[in-house]
Structure 1
Amino acid sequence: MRPSSSPSEWGEPSIAPPVDASDPFAVVFGDPRVDQACGTDGWLGAMLDAERALAEALAEAELVPVAAAKAIGEACRSGGVTSAVFAHASSASPVVPLVNTLAEAVPLEVRGWVHYGATSQDIMDTAMMLVAHRATAVIVDNLAHAAEAAASLTERHRDTLLIGRTLGQHAAPTTFGAVAAGWLSGIDAARDQLRSARFELAAQLGGPVGTLEPYGTQGLRVLADFAHRLGLADPGLPWHTERTRVTRLASALATGAGTLAKVAHDVSVLGSSDVGELREGSGGGSSAMPHKHNPADSVLVLANVRRTPGLAATMFAALESELQRPAGAWQSEWQTLSQLLRCCGGASSRASSLLSGLRVDTGRMRSHLDATGGLLRAGAVADQLAPALGRREAHELIADLAARAETATFDGQSSAADHKPPGWAQLGDQSERPDQPSAPHGPPGAGQATFREFLDADPTVTAHLTAAELDAACDPTACLPAARALVDRALARHRAQEEP
């Protein structure tokens, strides 16, 4: 009998969230709050907010009649201006059809005051800053939740030992608390950078060539009041062709996304079936293999982040803005920034879910560590021998013993004495050749040689280190004091950042 494919039986909600008709993948990849801020209605609302605030600031400076400003504000709020303004591309900007539609919505005697003294870029840049300000509020909030989840993991697993891995290989013992502290530190730094960039999001008002000439001596006053009414920063002077605040925002978004990708990549690797030390708490089904628990949140974080470097690069390319109004540079930012915000919104939302539900298999972490037979502490043993042998000689001796222990483990040797040193295959000896297939690689099992056995069997090692000293050098818990100090520092910094 063919199984039912109803959403509820396949583990998905029976009532799906609304889908953006212009982007069928928005629900999969994005955060609906960010998508709303960056969508058609979000941009239109931001443009109308800019026109309303401009009229009110001009009325406050007595450059526009109060009644006219009130009529313009009412027209901006009435809903009479629709997304149809985006369908007119002849002017290379939706501002011209927006202003024309707005003018038709006010009394005839008011029409001359609509968009008074402003240029199209003033409205589009200000709208872009409003869209970014609203979207980044959500992203910062997502990062805050992700950081809190990382802080909880850091504190809970302060002493949870696991294998540290470098270049994909076993390196030295560490703690999962230290790993999570690294995540926490990165997320906190990214959130702080994005908050700083958000604080710098400024209104734009300069008039035709950025001199504020239409407003005479009241120009700077109007600019400051305009920014204040919108909740944006006062830029000090118009920035039509000075785009550094835009690239600071793009950089902060791309940096934050990359930080989350590091977390997602770690989880996907440590959650692989062959490692199994971590597991996502939800989702991850397969259409073909019922047994699978795919790292869905990690996958979607990484998919979003893959797109951010190219989007950020486009924002940086717009820095090259000639004279007083560039051709194509600022226009290239609108859609690009929207996409960048959407990617970062989705990545931050998924990362928050990922960290909040992360499951940690502490037993498996410890069993993997113990299975290395003390090999991960080879560096500590070499350090203990260095005063007697010299650092280089000690390193070479321990490197040789470690290599022999690894080979013994790989070949399933039963003891250190059974192992033959490198170069053992002699010419004419066809029974044991390095190019022959050997036993599958795996942790040492019962009866297999361990690194500690090789240390105990080496006369140079035992001549300088007692059994107790070797025990101390090979003890993986020796990393705990240093790891705890790092964990405590990360948590202290996080808590300080959370203080009002």
Structure 2
Amino acid sequence: MSSVTNSCIFKDIFGSSTMREIWSDHGRTGYYLEWEAALAKVQARLGMIPQEACDEIVSQCHVENIDFDKLKQQTELIGYPVLGVVQQLVFLCRNNLGEWCHFGATTQDVTDSATVLAIRASFDLIEEHLDAIMASVAGLAETHRLLPMVARSNLQQAVPITFGFKMARLLATLQRHKQRLAQLRERVLTLEFSGAAGTLATLNQNQAMKCQEELAKELGLAQPEIAWHTERDRIAEVGAFLGMLTGTLSKAATDVKLMMQTEVGEVSEPYMPHRGSSSTMPNKFNPISCAYIHAIAGTVRQQTAALMDAMVEDHERSTGPWEIEWIVLPEAFVLTGGALKQAKTLFGGLQVHPDRMAQNLAMTKGLVVSEAVMMGLAPKLGRQTAHDIVYDACRAAIKEDQMLAHVLKQNAQVTGALSEDQVNHLCDPANYLGLSGIMVDRVLDNYKSSLRHY
């Protein structure tokens, strides 16, 4: 095993088979050939190469025609795979018609455009997974819109929220990622075809810009305003997006695995016999998908940093930084595909345990609503005075092992300001959910509206 993304054992745990195929040798070589075929078609239409040459080149632009053992040798010798592909393509074409292949292009034109084509296919896959995850999370938010649970601050119980609120927060974040993905398409899905130093000097200057424009249309990409051989902000932004997306999935997975702790038990990963089991402890049900998502996200963040380093390229064609992208971008996409696949499974079958949520809310015997009591007393006694009274009552409740409501009812200042029914109302967690339900509805409305829009 050289990497988990190509390990026979781990590749479909940490990665995605569909994403891996996009970035495989066959996948990327297929994009090289798609680019060469598109160039030939455009140049034939513009009268820059003979139609007969175009027809022959296009007929040979199939990945099954490439000898990959030979391509490996050629790449090791030359340093880049594109020229090896072109050489084989020229050889495959009859009557020397292959001499018209790659006309006026340079290696990086093909390599970068192929990368963009692979990114486009990857974006499609990411969007598909995102849509499935958002549908599951939206369902959880709607179903559990008003299911009370405890919020946690610094890992300590804070105030009540609802589980629907927690899921809606995640849904809103995923919606922002969907928006980022749409914006990325506009900036990133851009052709590269500009020749050795980016000036398109190899082509007749009356036809060069038209050729570039038509090639972009043929491939379904945007035409660049200027060459971007060593301006790598597009690729770096893609890396940043992958880091942010997997970071969001990891945050959600962290919450789930903390809520899965035996002492908490508020949710569980989808149950499958023997999944997450221990070799020595039959009682164990470990958060497997969460663990994988967390590991993947940590790795992708490092790859994001590497892609930022790849931005520092020299002059018009670089010496080394470009190749960083070759190393980390494919794996970053494959790992992101793996994280999305695990998250799809996780939220598609997440088990929610309302009884445990209720038990945990009651665990502190009312201390979880101390803020509610303070804010209920504040208009009558002043905020600081109310804070001090409730603070002392909390300490007493802990010391005496009593319900907070019971202690409050023994305090003359409290009973002078609030009735017994008001104290009971303030001490019920279900009555201190704030605007949880309204905020859930707002997120769900935005989500459903976006579905109609798309």
Q: Sort the TM-score into its range (normalised by shorter chain).
A: over 0.9
Deviation (angstroms), 1:20: 7.8
Deviation (angstroms), 1:21: 5.9
Deviation (angstroms), 1:481: 5.6
The question of whether the paired residues in 2 share the 8 Å contact of 1:153 and 1:180 is answered with yes
Mapped to 1, the partners of 2:310 and 2:295 lie a distance apart of 25
Equivalent residue number for residue 462 of structure 1 = 415
Equivalent residue number for residue 397 of structure 2 = 405
Tell me the amino acid that sits aligned with residue 265 of structure 1: T
Mapped to 1, the partners of 2:7 and 2:116 lie a distance apart of 23
Tell me the amino acid that sits aligned with residue 309 of structure 1: R
Q: 1:271 aligns with which of 260, 284, 287?
A: 260
Q: 1:150 aligns with which of 128, 137, 153?
A: 137
Deviation (angstroms), 1:457: 1.9
Give 1:251-262 correspondences, 5 Å limit. Answer: 251-262=240-251
Say which SS state the counterpart of residue 89 (structure 1) adopts: helix
The question of whether the paired residues in 1 share the 8 Å contact of 2:372 and 2:432 is answered with no
The question of whether the paired residues in 1 share the 8 Å contact of 2:374 and 2:383 is answered with yes
- Residues 428-450 of structure 1: per-residue CA shift (max 9 Å, x gap): xxxxxxxxxxxxxxxxxxxx412
The question of whether the paired residues in 1 share the 8 Å contact of 2:33 and 2:63 is answered with no
Q: 2:277 aligns with which of 249, 262, 285?
A: 285
Deviation (angstroms), 1:108: 4.4
Equivalent residue number for residue 12 of structure 1 = none
1:391 corresponds to 2:390 = no
Say which SS state the counterpart of residue 279 (structure 2) adopts: coil
Distance change (3 Å), C-alpha of 1:403 and 1:65: farther
Tell me the amino acid that sits aligned with residue 86 of structure 2: V
Q: 1:160 aligns with which of 132, 141, 147?
A: 147
Say which SS state the counterpart of residue 217 (structure 1) adopts: coil
Distance change (3 Å), C-alpha of 1:22 and 1:379: closer
Mapped to 1, the partners of 2:314 and 2:245 lie a distance apart of 30
- Residues 286-312 of structure 1: per-residue CA shift (max 9 Å, x gap): 233222211111111112111111101
Equivalent residue number for residue 190 of structure 1 = 177
Mapped to 1, the partners of 2:363 and 2:5 lie a distance apart of 51
Distance change (3 Å), C-alpha of 1:218 and 1:353: same
Deviation (angstroms), 1:400: 2.5
Give 1:107-122 correspondences, 5 Å limit. Answer: 107-122=94-109
> Normalising to structure 1: TM-score of the pair?
0.85
Higher helix share goes to which structure?
2
- Residues 288-341 of structure 1: per-residue CA shift (max 9 Å, x gap): 322221111111111211111110111111222221111112221122110110
The question of whether the paired residues in 1 share the 8 Å contact of 2:277 and 2:285 is answered with yes
The structure having more radius of gyration, on CA atoms, is: 1
> Normalising to structure 2: TM-score of the pair?
0.93
Equivalent residue number for residue 50 of structure 1 = 35
1:296 corresponds to 2:288 = yes
Percent identity of paired positions between Structure 1 and Structure 2: 30
1:307 corresponds to 2:299 = yes
1:30 corresponds to 2:22 = no
The runs of 5 or more residues in structure 1 that have no matched partner are 1-18, 414-447
Deviation (angstroms), 1:24: 4.5
The question of whether the paired residues in 2 share the 8 Å contact of 1:194 and 1:256 is answered with no
Distance change (3 Å), C-alpha of 1:86 and 1:28: same
The question of whether the paired residues in 1 share the 8 Å contact of 2:16 and 2:334 is answered with yes
Say which is worse superposed, 162-171 or 54-63, in terms of deviation. 54-63
Say which SS state the counterpart of residue 321 (structure 2) adopts: coil
Equivalent residue number for residue 201 of structure 2 = 213
Q: CA RMSD in A?
A: 1.8
Say which is worse superposed, 255-264 or 451-460, in terms of deviation. 451-460
Equivalent residue number for residue 141 of structure 1 = 128
Equivalent residue number for residue 428 of structure 2 = 475
The question of whether the paired residues in 1 share the 8 Å contact of 2:150 and 2:361 is answered with yes
The question of whether the paired residues in 2 share the 8 Å contact of 1:162 and 1:174 is answered with yes
The question of whether the paired residues in 1 share the 8 Å contact of 2:243 and 2:301 is answered with yes
